[in-house]
């Protein structure tokens, strides 16, 4: 996969893309990343990418001209489904979810256009295939939001994660939150690891983890237990969920 970012502050990506999983993905040839500086497509002495908003108001708005010109050079003309997805980050966008990450991970190329200041001239959004929001809050820059999306997508690329089944057992993949994790020592400050995890009984461990996942989702994110998710449960899952519901009703 190739990922390009169009940004006023491309240096913000250096630490994220040069460490850990992102670094390994690039070293393995699984990811090609390039952060482009929108100032390279300005034509004034001060390399200005922002200006005062028409109609007045506080803050500065990113100019659309550098974005369009950078897009012309980096992406070029498009026709049909070329395997490229152009993304803008905005609180006005659709919520970013694990399912969206799955869809993006199947693309050949992602291009992120990152806002700053008070936002982006609305005309630039005509370039977007998708506008994403991380949540109901505002960040200083689109660079920060894009890093979250990039991380969530890249970890889904085949061969990126060290553990073969790592991505398949994480939260949200099957609609549930992930079960609790423990490692050595088995006892620390009087807090003990659940005995089942030390039993060597893999079937019992799998059953415990599944129930913990369901219980944690029921307790913390009941909104995730949609009809679609519950329909995927086997009879043991359904029975366990019903027991949780009964306990809640009695409380």
**Sequence ranges of the domains in the chain:** 2-154, 171-250
Q: Is 72 annotated as a binding residue?
A: no
Mean pLDDT on 218-232 = 95
Mean pLDDT on 216-236 = 96
- The 10s digit of each residue's pLDDT in 64-97 is 999 999 999 999 999 888 999 999 999 999 999 9
H helical segments located in the chain: 14-17, 20-27, 64-74, 98-105, 142-154, 202-220, 227-231, 235-250
Q: How many residues does the chain have?
A: 251
Q: Is 73 annotated as a binding residue?
A: no
Q: Is 119 annotated as a binding residue?
A: no
Same fold, 2-154 and 171-250: no
Of 130, 63, 126, the C-alpha closest to 90 is 130
Q: Is the pLDDT of residue 251 over 90?
A: no
- The separation between CA 1 and the C-alpha centre of its own chain, rounded to angstroms, equals 16
pTM of the model: 0.88
Give the domain 2-154 fold: Alpha/beta knot (3.40.1280)
What average pLDDT does the structure give for the chain?
94
Q: Is the pLDDT of residue 171 over 80?
A: no
Q: Is 89 annotated as a binding residue?
A: no
Locus of tokens 């970012």: 5
Q: Is 134 annotated as a binding residue?
A: yes
Q: Is the pLDDT of residue 249 over 90?
A: no
Q: Which residues, in sequence order, are bridge partners of residue 51? A: 61
Residue 115's CB: how many other CB atoms inside 10 A? 24
Q: Is 136 annotated as a binding residue?
A: yes
Give the domain 171-250 fold: 1.10.1270
Note the pLDDT of residue 165. Answer: 53
- The 10s digit of each residue's pLDDT in 9-51 is 999 999 999 999 999 999 999 999 999 999 999 999 999 999 9
- Residues 153, 186: Cα–Cα separation, whole Å: 34
Q: Is 139 annotated as a binding residue?
A: yes
């Amino acid at each position: 996969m190739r990922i390009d970012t169009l940004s006023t502050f491309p240096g913000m990506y250096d630490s994220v893309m040069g460490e850990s999983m992102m670094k390994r993905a690039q070293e393995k040839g699984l990811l090609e990343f390039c952060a482009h500086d929108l100032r390279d497509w300005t034509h004034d002495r001060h390399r200005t990418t922002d200006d005062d908003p028409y109609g007045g108001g506080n803050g500065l708005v990113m100019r659309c001209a550098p974005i369009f010109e950078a897009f012309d050079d980096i992406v070029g003309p498009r026709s049909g489904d070329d395997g490229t997805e152009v993304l803008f980050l905005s609180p006005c966008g659709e919520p970013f979810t694990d399912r969206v990450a799955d869809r993006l991970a199947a693309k050949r190329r992602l291009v992120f256009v990152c806002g700053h200041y008070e936002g982006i001239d609305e005309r630039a959004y005509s370039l977007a295939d998708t506008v994403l929001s991380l949540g109901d809050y505002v960040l200083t820059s689109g660079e920060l939001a894009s890093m979250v999306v990039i991380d969530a997508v890249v970890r889904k690329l085949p061969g990126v994660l060290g553990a073969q089944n790592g991505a398949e057992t994480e939260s949200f993949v099957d609609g549930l939150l992930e079960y609790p994790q423990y490692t050595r020592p088995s006892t620390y400050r009087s807090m003990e690891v659940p005995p089942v995890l030390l039993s060597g009984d893999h079937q019992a461990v799998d059953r415990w983890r599944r129930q913990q996942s369901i219980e944690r989702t029921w307790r913390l994110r009941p909104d995730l237990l949609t009809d679609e998710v519950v329909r995927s449960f086997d009879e043991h899952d359904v029975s366990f969920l019903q027991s949780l519901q009964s306990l809640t009703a009695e409380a």
